[in-house]
Structure 1
Amino acid sequence: MADCDLCGVAIPTVCPVKVFSPKFENSYPEGVWKGLCGSCLEKAKKAYDEATESKKTGTFGKCNLCGAEGQLQDVEINIPSFSKGYELERKKICMKCLEQSSEAYENKDELLGEHH
């Protein structure tokens, strides 16, 4: 079992997304792997598409995925909740992480080993 790094849901397999974390820049110069569930990956892809189409600048802050400070885009994530089923929460993600998430979304069947 693995936990999604955005919503925390535990599922058997998460989709790997390579992000460049400034905190681990010296230890892992190639980047670190974060795991996203299918729902979070889809929401990140949607946010990336919207940001590139409308050329949104976003808000300044700290990315919830890699920890870098910069311009961030809002991504609405479904956080599991025992009382309500799920709650919508806005996560702030930088464009680099959204771009990597978009690439992982395009290759998710290949990465997870699913064949149609």
Structure 2
Amino acid sequence: MSTEFSNAITEVEKYLMKNAERYRKMFEPGGELEYNNLISDMMGCITDNSIVGGAFHASQYIGVPGYTELEVFADIFSALYQGDDDTVKFIKDEFPDIHKAFLRVIGG
């Protein structure tokens, strides 16, 4: 597991929790992330479902050591593979350290 990737996730968790209300509103009806399941899953994993939209995993699952990193990695990979430009832009803009660490993990 990449320490840089794990540390970036930990720092983003702190940031998200400080700004929780802003991000929760994004998942409300009519919000910019209302239908974005990848970002919902990603934020849910990072915040233990404190900030989440329609897609998430049970706390018991994401509580297993390393599973948050696996899920965040999978969500970013899925967005890139699917060509989901809006999701990739959101990740780059909102979580640049996670995005950079992800690219280093894959050798990009």
TM-score (norm 2): 0.28
Bigger helix share: 2
| Pair member with larger Rg | 1
Structure richer in strand, relative to its length = 1
TM-score, with structure 1 as normaliser: 0.26
